[in-house]
Structure formats: structure tokens, C-alpha cells
């Protein structure tokens, strides 16, 4: 680890802190229908959308209707994406003439992008037409992010309102999120990205001539060795800076290229890399301020922010230390960091970023449910790669995916005040609302459904030939690959231990259900909590109330998050990354 | 329910047109006018011939060139239609063997000097256009000898293509291998 590495990590926290209040205030204004400086431009577009779709923006919904509208929109937009993938050969902007996407892969991808997961069992540059990328995949980056934020706002309203049957209008929340929060920022960011070297065109791929043609020997299926000379380099193009902006800002993470943000066209230099790291967490961080503002307890918002920041710092510290230390099994090379070289575990990492930004990226992409990667997690050291895995396992509540992080942390807050209530023997309260059996049951459902689908599907895969045949790294790392796949999909993250062969009927279909259950079966209990809280009276604070604005609360929240996830997942982690770490230091190779 | 279903269909179509078609086309339009070079992949032409992109690496095996990092993208490496890391885990024998083979190939070209980690490891994209300054320095004696240049001259050329950390602290210092080799060919063609 170096001072320069820590300087970059430190600056990240400073910038994240600096954007929290402006974004939080802005979102609170947007979703409360207050005036903003963008109104003159966006109001007419907003009204046009309401009119053309028949949306009554004055009408509020109860939690059940809100849920139904969300589910219907998700199903319809998912079907459209599936359709686009299946007929892309007949649609415009397909200069490479890609064929229709296979049915099970198209299903997996449609589920993936609808749920804000962006798990990818395909390489974009060899599978998807420009039309599919823009109107199918990048559109869902907007839609799924807007749905996530809308749900978070609905939950905040549930906490803030008293004796109310309704929690807002789903269509209005999604529209305003798309138009005010996501679109203007993405327009500007996309153009900054282009100026730094991200591609933005609709041209066919270019063919360059290698300066030094390569002679390669390949062994065919018949076992014969053939020698061929490779003289050409086909350079993939595309309209991708615009996609990159929303991919990161909406914590989607599904890149147009297979290598994601490690690809020079998706992440050309250290500045774009730093921007991406901050943007991934910006809205999640801002929403903690929105929570404080809309519930009238700004100190509570900061107490939650502090818990998230502490967990984030802890994660990046471990990941950075492990990756900077390098791989003890590699001999005869210099892995020491210096001004002349990044050093450390450079397998799967880019020279322009080096160790600290890659460790930070891996941490933040899984703090959020983003899943973009600027280095390959599969090639991280065992404990360095465990940090992203653990971040997802604790529910991506460290700032979290846009919206999903906030409603995720509300679940843990409810459990925390419940446990605090048990300790002092009083009915727990949260910001004036009594937390009762129904709320706690729903919160526990969220926690239990997640571990059930992750561990259940992992268990099936590791005892089945169709599960284990996709493993590419033998030994404990193989278990980590499968565990990571199901954790990432259920958590709607989308990053991967990418050596696992995911494009098989089993992984496509089981993964799609993993993602759909991970999104919608979590959201329904969360909205039920929101609806139930909205109905309740406000009880005045008393001496027996456990305050949710203090460092003690922050500490308790962190403890509950860690204990719940550690108890659930520690056995699996000990057989995967922890065992691999011990064996690696004992010199064992698989 | 019925009403929300109808809204879902219309809303999906309307917002797809706005966010999935208009938005990327507007960005494309502005980008093509304001940043045409960047928006089209920073392509490099020598005469009429397209020789690559400043942002995308190429494989080099001839001893007179600076070599890039190993690549897991495509059969010959550095295939932008199949960007990929090796995804080999840290305890995978295939990784250890591959690194050992690279070490055995590289060490004789500069005995006694430690080999920088980035020169024997694959990047995440398989397209990494850069090597570290240490990895370039490691190769200076070999390239100088092959091209009949003084090591000083080669070093000066390396320095010309070395980028420091952005703003002095972001990322890592790096050398663009394709740019450097193009310059080598232009100034001191191989004998």
C-alpha cells in the first residue's frame, strides 16, 4: 500500500461526502413536486408523457397498487427487451449482422437488465446489435434505476407520513426520476466521457493491421495443430459513452463490452475511472440525505451515512491490502509497488489504474448493486475477492444500488431498533412509528428470502454435473465462483467471478429466477412495510425511545448488518475464499 | 389493474423512444461534431493504412519491438471482438505455469533484472495498451541491441511515450506500447 493509493481513496470519500447533500436535497425536491431549476425544460416533456400514456399524476396509490404497477411495468418492459433481442437481426443499427440471441440467453439477459442486475452471460461486442444495446439494454439501465429510486422514495414516504393510506404515484415517481435525476446528469457525463476517449458512433467495426503480425498455433477439435498468421485487428465500435453514463450512475453495471470498465473504450483513463467510482455511489449516498430531509431528521440521515462509510472503508482497506501484497505463489517476478510500476497482484488488472483504484472499484461496485468491474474479480487474491462477495452478501446496503440500497438499509434499521427495543424491554419505535410484529416479520422475510435463494441454488449447483462443469478454477476457488454467481444475481449486482461458464441452459435459467426472486420477492415485503408504516400514528418521543441519530445507533446498525450476514454466510465463505487463502499461503496449487 | 397494464405498455414504448433512441442519438450527434476523434476510437492511420487505436493494445513478439503484456483476448491476444481477462484464480496451476513460462522467456533477455509483475500478467480487458515504466526499462537493452541503437536513445523515446499519473496522483504512470513501437519504426526501422 502506498500514500498515493490512500490519497486516491481519501479523495473518493471527500468527493462522495461533498455530493451527498446537493443530490439529496435535489431528489427530495423532485419527489415532493417542488420547483427545481430544470422545470422549464422538463415540465413539458413530463406532461407529454402523462398525456400520451394516460397517467393521472394527481392520483395517489396505496402500497398494493404501487406494487402492482411496478410489477406490470417490469413484466412489460422485460418482454419488450426479450423481443428486441430475439429479432435484432431484422432491426436497424446492426452493422455486424449479429443473429438473434438464443432463447435462454435472451431470457437471462432480459431478467438481468429488468432487475438492475446486469449479469451478462454474453460478450456484448460479439452478440448484441447497437439497437439492442441502446433501445434494449441501456433503456433498462434507466428504467430499472428509476424503479429502484421510486421504491426507495415510496418507503421514505411510508416512514414520513402519518395515518396515510397512500405512498405516492408509481408512474409519477418513475417519470420524474428518469427526467430530473437520471437524464440530465447522463447527458453531461456522457459528453465528458466521450471527450476522454469513450466511443460514441454507429459505424461498423474497423479493421486495422497489426504492426507485428502474430503466428499462432491452434489445436482443433480433431486434435490437429494448425499454424495460422493473424494480421488483422478488428476494433469494435458503438454508441457507448451514453450507455456508460447510465450504466454507472444507475448502478446497473452491464457494459457494452465483455471486459466492462476494464475495456479502454469503456474506461479510457484514471479520470474516467475515478468519476465512475464516485458516480456509482453518488445517488445511494444522496438518498441517505433525502431520507433525513423527508422524514425531518437530518441527523438520522447522517447516522445512516456514517454506518455505510465505515463499512465501505473497512472493505476497501482489506481489498487494497490483499491486492497490494500480491500473489505469493508467483516466483521470479517483482511485485513491489513503486513509482515505476503498480506491482501487487496485477493479473486481471489494467496498468493505467493500478492496485488502489482497482481495489476501490471492486469495493464500491459491490457496496452498490452496480457490478461494473475495472479488473477481474476472479483473479483477485482469495480475501481480496472475498470483499466484493461479502459486500453483496450483506445486502448491498453500503450506499447500495440506487434506491435498493436505501430500502435495504431500512430493513436493517427496523431490525436494529427491534433488537434495541428487546434490550430495554419497550415497543421499538422508528422516527415516531411503532415497529410491530408485522413490520419485523416482513423485514425478516427480506433477509431470509435472500439467503435461501443464494445458498439453495449454490447447493444444487455444487452437487450437480450441470453446475460443476462450468467451473474454470479448481479447488476452493470453484466453490467461490458458483457462490459468487448466485450471490451476485440474487443481490442484483451483476459482477462475476467471470471464469465460470455462465452461458449454459442451467445457469441462464436458474440465474434468471435467482435475479427475479432477488428483486421482486424482496421489494414486495419492503413495500408492505412502507404501506404499514404510512398508516400508523406518530407517537411522541420519550425517554424510553432508542434514538436513531447517535453514534451508538450507527454502531448498532453496523453490528446488526455484520452479525446477520456473518451468521448466514460464514460457513460457505470458510469453505471458499478463506480456505483458499490458507492453502495459498501454505503453497498449495490446484 | 387493467388501467395500469395499459399505462405500462404505453409508458414502456414512450420512454424507450426517449431514453433508448433519442438520448443516445443526441449524444452521438454532439460527440461526432465536438469530439470526432475520440468518439470514433482514437484511430491511428499511417498514410492510408489503419494501424490501430491509441487506446487498444497490440501483441508484439519480434525482439526489436517493445512487448505488451500477455493477453487473454482471442487466439493471438488483443482481439477487440473478444475482450476478456484470463479469469484464472490465484491458486490455479494454469496461472502459475503461464507466469513461469513468461519468466523463462523474458529473463534471458535481461539477466539479473527483476521482471515487473505487469509484464507477465494478463490485463482485465486483454486490450491493455500500456506497460509500466519498469516494464519498458526492462526491455530497453533488448530493443537497443536489436535495432542497433544506443540504450540512451531508446530510453529517450520511452520517456517521450511515458504518461505520468493523471493530475499527478490518479492511476499509475504508464507507457503506450503501440505508440512507442510506431515511433521506433519511424525513427529507426529495423535492420
**Same domain, residue pair A63 and A93:** yes
Residue A282 has pLDDT above 80, yes or no: yes
Of B7, B15, B35, the CB nearest to A194: B35
Whole-number pLDDT of residue A223? 81
Question: A99 and A141 in one domain?
Answer: yes
Residues in A closer than 8 angstroms to B90, CB to CB, are 327, 329, 345, 347, 379-382, 477, 580, 584
Same domain for A130 and A221?
no
Query: Could you tell me which of B126, B76, B80, B119 has the C-alpha nearest to residue B101?
Result: B119
Contacts B178 to A, Cβ<8 Å: 211
How far CA B170 is from CA of A324, A358, A367, A379, in Å, comes to 16, 12, 22, 23
pLDDT digits (tens, 9 = 90+) for B97-134: 999 999 999 999 999 999 999 999 999 999 999 999 99
| B178 contacts A332? CB cut-off 8 A | no
Identify whether A133 is part of a domain. yes
- How many Cα atoms within 13 Å fall on the side-chain side of residue A80? 24
**Residues B170, B171, B175: CA angle, nearest 5 degrees:** 125
Residue A176: give the domain boundaries.
37-201+239-284
Per residue in A284-326, pLDDT tens? 999 999 999 999 999 999 999 999 999 999 999 999 999 999 9
Partners of residue B88 in chain A, C-beta under 8 Å: 347, 378-379, 472-473, 499
Q: Are A50 and A196 within one domain? A: yes
**Beta bridge partner(s), residue A226:** A218
The chain B residue lying nearest A74, using CA atoms, is B8
Phi, psi of A522 (to 5 degrees): -85, -35
* Tally of structural domains, chain A: 2
Q: What is the pLDDT of residues A425-455, one digit of tens each?
A: 888 999 999 999 999 999 999 999 999 999 9
Same domain, A136 and A278: yes
C-alpha cell belonging to residue B185: 519504426
State whether ipTM is beyond 0.95. Answer: yes
Whether A117 and A227 map to the same domain: the answer is no
Same domain for A211 and A184: no
In a domain, A548, yes or no: no
| Residue ranges per structural domain of chain B | 1-40, 41-187
Best probe of the A interface among B123, B126, B140, B162, by most A CBs < 10 A, is: B123
CA distance A496 to B96: 22
Residue A221 predicted with pLDDT over 80:
no
Using CB atoms within 10 Å of the CB of residue B171, give its burial: 0 to 12 exposed, 13 to 18 middle, 19+ buried.
buried
- Whether residue A32 is contained in a domain is answered as no
Nine-digit cell string for B122: 494478463
Do A270 and A193 share a structural domain?
yes
pLDDT per position as a tens digit, A103-145: 999 999 999 999 999 999 999 999 999 999 999 999 999 999 9
In the block, residue with C-alpha cell 445512516: A304
Same domain, A60 and A173: yes
- In this structure, are A184 and A79 located in the same domain? yes
Instruction: Using DSSP, state whether A102 is helix, strand or coil.
Output: coil
Tell me if A119 is assigned to some domain: yes
Q: Flag whether pLDDT at A561 surpasses 70.
A: yes
Asked if residue A138 belongs to a domain, the reply is yes
Whether residue A80 is found in the same domain as residue A54: yes
Whether B96 sits inside 8 A of A330 (CB atoms) is yes
Lookup: cell for B38: 475520440
Q: Do A60 and A182 lie in a common domain? A: yes
Amino acid at each position: 500500500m502506498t500514500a498515493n493509493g490512500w490519497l486516491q481513496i481519501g479523495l473518493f470519500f471527500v468527493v462522495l461526502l461533498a455530493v451527498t447533500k446537493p443530490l439529496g436535497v435535489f431528489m427530495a425536491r423532485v419527489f415532493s413536486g417542488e420547483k427545481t431549476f430544470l422545470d422549464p425544460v422538463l415540465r413539458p416533456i413530463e406532461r407529454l408523457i402523462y398525456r400520451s400514456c394516460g397517467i393521472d399524476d394527481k392520483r395517489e396509490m396505496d402500497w398494493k397498487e404501487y406494487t402492482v404497477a411496478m410489477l406490470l411495468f417490469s413484466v412489460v418492459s422485460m418482454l419488450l427487451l426479450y423481443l428486441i433481442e430475439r429479432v435484432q437481426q431484422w432491426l436497424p443499427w446492426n452493422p455486424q449482422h449479429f443473429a438473434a440471441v438464443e432463447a435462454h440467453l435472451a431470457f437471462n439477459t432480459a431478467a438481468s437488465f429488468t432487475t438492475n442486475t446486469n449479469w451478462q452471460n454474453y460478450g456484448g461486442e460479439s452478440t448484441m446489435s447497437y439497437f439492442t444495446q441502446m433501445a434494449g439494454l441501456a433503456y433498462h439501465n434507466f428504467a430499472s434505476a428509476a424503479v429502484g429510486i421510486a421504491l426507495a422514495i415510496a418507503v421514505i414516504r411510508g416512514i414520513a407520513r402519518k395515518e396515510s393510506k397512500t405512498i405516492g404515484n408509481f408512474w409519477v415517481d418513475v417519470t420524474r426520476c428518469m427526467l430530473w435525476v437520471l437524464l440530465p446528469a447522463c447527458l453531461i457525463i456522457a459528453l465528458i466521457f466521450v471527450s476522454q476517449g469513450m466511443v460514441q458512433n454507429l459505424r461498423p467495426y474497423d479493421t486495422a493491421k497489426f504492426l507485428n503480425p502474430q503466428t499462432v498455433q491452434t489445436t482443433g477439435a480433431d486434435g490437429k495443430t494448425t499454424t495460422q498468421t493473424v494480421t488483422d485487428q478488428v476494433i469494435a465500435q458503438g454508441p457507448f459513452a451514453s450507455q456508460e453514463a447510465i450504466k454507472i450512475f444507475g448502478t446497473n453495471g452491464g457494459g457494452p463490452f465483455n471486459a466492462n470498465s476494464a475495456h479502454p473504450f469503456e474506461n479510457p483513463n484514471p479520470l474516467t475511472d475515478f468519476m465512475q467510482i464516485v458516480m456509482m455511489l453518488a445517488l445511494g449516498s444522496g438518498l441517505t440525505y433525502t431520507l433525513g430531509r423527508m422524514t425531518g431528521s437530518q441527523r438520522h440521515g447522517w447516522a445512516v451515512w456514517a454506518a455505510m462509510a465505515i463499512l465501505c472503508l473497512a472493505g476497501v482497506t482489506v481489498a487494497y491490502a490483499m491486492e497490494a501484497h500480491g500473489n505469493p505463489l508467483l516466483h521470479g517476478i517483482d511485485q513491489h509497488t513503486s513509482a515505476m510500476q503498480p506491482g501487487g497482484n496485477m493479473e486481471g488488472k489494467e496498468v493505467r489504474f493500478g492496485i488502489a483504484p482497482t481495489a476501490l472499484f471492486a469495493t464500491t461496485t459491490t457496496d452498490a448493486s452496480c457490478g461494473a468491474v475495472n479488473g477481474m474479480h476472479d483473479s483477485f487474491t482469495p480475501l481480496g475477492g472475498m470483499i466484493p462477495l461479502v459486500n453483496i452478501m450483506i445486502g448491498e446496503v453500503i450506499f447500495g444500488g440506487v434506491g435498493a440500497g436505501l430500502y435495504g438499509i431500512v430493513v436493517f434499521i427496523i431490525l436494529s431498533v427491534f433488537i434495541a427495543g428487546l434490550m430495554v424491554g419497550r415497543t421499538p419505535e422508528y422516527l415516531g412509528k411503532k415497529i410491530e410484529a408485522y413490520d419485523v416479520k416482513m423485514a425478516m422475510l427480506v433477509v431470509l428470502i435472500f439467503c435461501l435463494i443464494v445458498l439453495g441454488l449454490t447447493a444444487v449447483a455444487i452437487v450437480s454435473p450441470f453446475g460443476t462443469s462450468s467451473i474454470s478454477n479448481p479447488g476452493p476457488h470453484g466453490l467461490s465462483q458458483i457462490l459468487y454467481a448466485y450471490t451476485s444475481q440474487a443481490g442484483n449486482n451483476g459482477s462475476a467471478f467471470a471464469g465460470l461458464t455462465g452461458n449454459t441452459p442451467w445457469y441462464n435459467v436458474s440465474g434468471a429466477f435467482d435475479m427475479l426472486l432477488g428483486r421482486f420477492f424482496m421489494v414486495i415485503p419492503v413495500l408492505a412495510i412502507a404501506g404499514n408504516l404510512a398508516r400508523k400514528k406518530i407517537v411522541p418521543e420519550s425517554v424510553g425511545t432508542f434514538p436513531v441519530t447517535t453514534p451508538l445507533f450507527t454502531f448498532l446498525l453496523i453490528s446488526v448488518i455484520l452479525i446477520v450476514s456473518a451468521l448466514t454466510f460464514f460457513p460457505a465463505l470458510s469453505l471458499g475464499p478463506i480456505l483458499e487463502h490458507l492453502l495459498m499461503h501454505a503453497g498449495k496449487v490446484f | 389493474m387493467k388501467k395500469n397494464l395499459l399505462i405500462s405498455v404505453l409508458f414502456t414504448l414512450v420512454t424507450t423512444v426517449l431514453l433508448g433512441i433519442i438520448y443516445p442519438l443526441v449524444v452521438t450527434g454532439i460527440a461526432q461534431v465536438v469530439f470526432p476523434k475520440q468518439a470514433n476510437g482514437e484511430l491511428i492511420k499511417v498514410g492510408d493504412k489503419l494501424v490501430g487505436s491509441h487506446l487498444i493494445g497490440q501483441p508484439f513478439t519480434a525482439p526489436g519491438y517493445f512487448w505488451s503484456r500477455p493477453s487473454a483476448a482471442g487466439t493471438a491476444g488483443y482481439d477487440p471482438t473478444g475482450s476478456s481477462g484470463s479469469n484464472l484464480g490465484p491458486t490455479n496451476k494454469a496461472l502459475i505455469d503461464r507466469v513461469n513460462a513468461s519468466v523463462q522467456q523474458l529473463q534471458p533477455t535481461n539477466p539479473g533484472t527483476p521482471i515487473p509483475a505487469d509484464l507477465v500478467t494478463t490485463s482485465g480487458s486483454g486490450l491493455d495498451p500500456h506497460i509500466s515504466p519498469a516494464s519498458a526499462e526492462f526491455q530497453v537493452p533488448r530493443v537497443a541491441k536489436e535495432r542497433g541503437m544506443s540504450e540512451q536513445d531508446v530510453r529517450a523515446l520511452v520517456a517521450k511515450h511515458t504518461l505520468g499519473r493523471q493530475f499527478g496522483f490518479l492511476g499509475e504512470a504508464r507507457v503506450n506500447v503501440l505508440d512507442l513501437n510506431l515511433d521506433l519504426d519511424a525513427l529507426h526501422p529495423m535492420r
